[in-house]
Each structure stands twice: as structure tokens, then as C-alpha cells.
Amino acid sequence: MTNFWKKLPRPFVALAPMEDVTDYVFREIVARYLPKPDIIFTEFTNVEALNSEGFEKTIYRFKFSKKQRPIVAQIWGLKPENYYKTAKLINNLGFDGIDINMGCPDKAVVKIGACSALINNPTLANEIILATKEGANNLPVSVKTRLGLKDDITRKWITFLLEHNLDAITIHGRTAKQSSDTPANWDKIQQSVGLRDTISPNTLLVGNGGVKNYNNGIDWTKKYNLDGAMIATGILSNPWAFDKSDKKSSLEDNKKILTKHLNLYRKTEESNKSYNVLKKFFKMYIRGSWPNQNLINGFDGASKLRNQLMQTKSVDEALKLL
């Protein structure tokens, strides 16, 4: 199998894994109807759930289409043996890569010792990486992480990760303790470049945190000497964030995309997810203005329509309103 990381354009821009955002439906909308990222990641998927009675309620997260390639399955959890089994499953399902979540700052997740808490538990992190790589066989393995848990330990932590010869490391330029209001520190991310060149020259480095759109991401990768950038919440304020030509989008464009989104959700996800999950997408598509972004053609009634959509209780009701 060809390692997709080696075939990407340089620099590249990826769509970040986001819980209740990058599900099958949104990934399919992005891949088919919006400007497509160079890489797409799944939602966070728990390895313990996949290796328990919760399998049937979890496996839907790993549904994907050819349009979504290259597609990377992101996983999290605590037990190395479950990472091994899940990596084998991901390989068998035909994903292009596996990404280990060592960056989520959610307090409930950190409390049990998972995700960003692994930054302060290198013994377990080592076991998890080794188990995942063994189960993945020839499938590329990457890690998404942060500068530290409570304190910035970029040099020590990234050195540790690089010693595992991962295919890629995505570094969010904040500690887990820092809020999203704290500007991401890309100078700290850049410190990893020299370490990479010395320890693991073939590992790609991806910057994350505060990237607004594709061209913004490309500019930052060049400024900080990185291989790529990753957009997370930037797409929630601009669904056309991956457009390379700064296309001007109208409300009518977005209404059409939202209609496709709702119809696809009805066909594929209604039995798996609460309808309320869709409401963040109402905020994303239906906006009155687009300050400092490439979508500028809002309209005066956007706020009213968005508020009405937020009150709906079914796909049919939302479609009728649109």
C-alpha cells in the first residue's frame, strides 16, 4: 500500500477531526459539494467502545466513501490492546491512515487519563503507539497533540513522539489547559522542525490552531517551515474555508448545500445521532455577514432564518422552512 502522506502536495491543508462535526454526512458534503481539503479525518472514535458490546453503536463512525479519500480514522482510549485490535479493523476497512488523539482537552476525557492526559504519561503513550503501529501493519500512523497538558513541554514531548518515527504529527499550538481564546503559538510549533530534521526526517509536521481558511493555512506553513496546516473551527464560520481562489459565496449557495446536508442526514444518520447535532451546521451555513472571510454575500434576514431553524425539531420541518 502506498503511504498517502508521501503523495500529498506540499504544503497541504487538512480538515481536523471534530466530535459531532466531521461525521460521515459532513465529510461527504465537504467531499462532494464544498471545496475539498487535502486530507479528511473522522470524528474521535473510542477503541474501548469498538471492542465491547458498544461496537454496533460505534462502528457507524467509520463509514466513508471513495470521495472522502484520503481519509484518516482518528481513535482515542486507554488500553493498548484495544488500539491494536482497532488498528487491524481500520486497516481491514480500507482507510488511508490512523491518527491517535493525544490532544483533546475535554475535562472528562482528561480525568480518565486519555487524549491530552497522555502527554504526561509517556509510558502509556509509548505502549499505545507501539500497539497501534503493530495492528496497523503497513498503514501510516500519525498523532495529533498539543504543546503540553498544563505546562508547555513542547521540546520534551515532541522529541518523545519523533523517536517513534510516526508518519505525521499534528501540533495544536496551545496546551490543553489553555482556552480557545488564547492565540495559538505557532512559534512553539516551529520549534519542532529542527527536532524533526535531526530525529525523524521523514515525519511530516502539521500546524493547528486558529487557521481560518486554505490560503491562511498555506501562508502559515510557509512562514513556519511546516509541511501542512489543519483547519478546525475555521470551517464552522466559513463552510467554503478550503476554497483556493477566495470564491464569493451567496446565502443561496449555502442554502442549497444545507438542503443536501439535511437530506443526506435523513438517509444515513437519523438512527445514530440526535437531530440537535445538526444545529451547529445551521449556524455555519446561515450567516448574515462574513467579516474577514471569503463569504461576503450575506443577507438581512439570515439571523431570523437561523433562529427559526434552531427551533425546528425534525429534518422535514427544517427543509420546509428552507
Question: Which of 157, 206, 150 has its CA nearest to residue 178?
Answer: 150
Residues 214 and 257 in one domain: no
| Helical segments of 98-145, H only | 107-111, 122-136
Does 242 map to a domain? no
Q: What is the pLDDT of residues 135-190, one digit of tens each?
A: 999 999 999 999 999 999 999 999 999 999 999 999 999 999 998 889 999 999 99
pLDDT at 291: 46
107: which residues sit within 8 A by CB, 6+ positions away?
none
Domain boundary among 236, 261, 294: 236
Does 262 map to a domain? yes
Sign of torsion, CA 13 19 23 26?
negative
pLDDT at 287: 77
Residues 190 and 304 in one domain: no
Residues 232 and 256 in one domain: no
Residues 226 and 286 in one domain: no
SS3 232: coil
pLDDT at 294: 42
Residues 158 and 272 in one domain: no
Residues 141 and 110 in one domain: yes
Does 96 map to a domain? yes
Q: What is the pLDDT of residues 283-319, one digit of tens each?
A: 999 876 544 344 444 555 788 889 999 999 999 999 9
pLDDT at 240: 92
Taking the C-alpha atoms of residue 302 and residue 148, their distance in angstroms, rounded to an integer, is 40
pLDDT above 70 as % of the chain: 95
Residues 230 and 256 in one domain: no
Among 18, 31, 104, 257, which one carries the catalytic annotation? 104
Residues 65 and 203 in one domain: yes
Does 244 map to a domain? no
Residues 162 and 212 in one domain: yes
The CATH number of residue 125's host domain is 3.20.20.70
Look up cell 481536523; give the residue.
16
How many independent structural domains does the chain possess?
A: 2
Range of the domain at 73: 4-236
Residues 72 and 132 in one domain: yes
Domain boundary among 194, 211, 236: 236
SS3 14: strand
Grid cell of 52 as nine digits: 465491547
Mean of pLDDT values over 70-78: 98
Residue 104 a catalytic site member: yes
Residues 207 and 65 in one domain: yes
Residues 110 and 230 in one domain: yes
pLDDT at 288: 61
Q: What's the whole-model pTM score?
A: 0.95
